[in-house]
Chains A and B, each alone.
Chain A
Amino acid sequence: MADLEKNRPQAEEPAPPKVKARKLKDFSDGTRATRITLNVVSVVCAVILWLVLSSSSSLNTFLASPAQVWEALQEEIASNGRYFKDLSISLQRVMIGFGTGFICAIPVAFLMGWYPKVRNLLEPWIQFLRTIPPLAMIPLVILAAGLTEKAKYIIIFIASFLVVVVTVYQGIRQVDLTLVKAAYTFGARDMNLFLDVMVPEAFPYILVGARLAVASSLTTLIAAEMTGTIYGLGARIQLAQQYMNTSVVLLGIITIGVIGYILDKILLLLEARLTRWK
């Protein structure tokens, strides 16, 4: 046996596969300088793209150029035109609808988080209602409240209320039970526990809920304004469309984007300020 082994022609040992030095994926966000540069490049590219697209003959029938939109804005400012009235009325609707929705949602979320009975009673409602887009409720609300301001407030209220309830409630459910135990050992009563532990623990979720609700409110607002009203950014866009006023259509759309962006930035800033401990 051993002899056979010895006499077998020696196969050449293949070289082991080569291992190349490799660079692993970098999961960091890059330096501040590159981040800002890329963001600026991105914005510049968007404007260039817009310029190019709006100068093509097949698109410029509906896509106004940056210069035209700028001109439209100048005109509105010079003539103290409808633009500002629309803007302020839309903002008012968002603020009232979102504000009341947000304020009403917080206690509901806390009650659901704190009392199992309330939770089990309300959860089916919330889970069902949140799957219905608030836009689907517009006809019903208009039947109930007419083509009034109140109808717009109600629709935005529903939109933001549901988002905030769901988010904050989930935050409360995730409360760290070790902290609850710790507070108990220091002599905290149930109500102390609520203020000392539950509220601070849920606080970041309240801010997240507010951001989601603002986004949802804006969507709902514009849709609500497109039926049966003559004021507001949504109505203005629709009206301008009927007159083929492409620059005002685009001005309205951009304005909505800017409002959403600014409101989100404000809430992000608030978050960074108030939850520095995170």
Chain B
Amino acid sequence: MAKVLMKGNEAIALAAIKGGVDAFYGYPITPQNEVPEYLSKHLLANGKVFLQAESEVAAINMVYGAAGAGKRVMTSSSSPGIALKQEGISYIAAAELPCVIVSVMRGGPGLGGIQPSQADYYQATRGGGNGDYQLIVYAPESIQETIDIMKESFDIADYYRNPVMVLVDGLIGQMMESVDFDKPVKERFLPEKDWATNGTMNHPGKRNIANSLQIDPKALEQHNIHLQEKYNTVKKNEVRYELINFDDPEYVIVAYGTMARICRSAIELLEKEGISVGMIRPISLFPYPKEAFAKIPDKAKGILTCELSQGQMLDDVLIANNGKHKVGFFGRSGGMLPDPEEIVEAIKNFNERVVK
């Protein structure tokens, strides 16, 4: 397939089909509506399942059911909708079921707005659901990268038996770019889903149960320890990041998704002024690319965290930096996007930006 010009949300939908999705359950919310709209046409036409649920709460529990039945299943939503799905997400993570959750972030809190935002970093990486669980979270910066990750995310979810979240914002969802859907996906050995609740006729002599209830505290603690071991394997194997302009940078920016694109432009402007600025661009938010911070030269003057929020990833930057460099913060929120010049100014006046 040659390159095609495609809108982000529709590309997410087509990439899901290429990734082998069997079923989609969702509820309308701006700015992700083109995802279900595209899938409603193309999944049903191919004998797959599309269902518009009565609520986000119902949608995520339909995902739970179909994931437990052993199918490749996804949902998509945006900030307040993802908030409603947190109960189900916690259950899915607890029952160790694979699924893909697309989150197209908009400004918050509350009903907030519908313009692009990154204010749901905590929601994605810390979880709004109860208990010790983690999603595997990817935050691509372009439609092409979103497609590549979407296609692979079903394999990753199946491999770890864990929900994967693809975290973008309204800008990536709504813009158009020239993209290629045929880039090969990393091959993984995926074991049979011999745990699927699809009737004992498919696995005689054994009952399969999808469950998160562990009434015995000893058993529940063992389950918690097991989950942590899995997350530690994820931390070891699935870290993704990009280093940009990292030859002896004076300052280092840390930014992901849409904000990283804006920072790329700022870095070019700064280069023209003779100020060398590098960037760590986390692609996986969980696991967070802590090891990238070891590559920052000792003599670098500081790290500027740039986010479309009031400072959420900043926590992970402070943890990864571990007091080594000065850390500053620049953020816009509520759906406001900065010009690259604002980031240029923030670097030039770094000392005013220092938080720690």
Chain A partners chain B: no
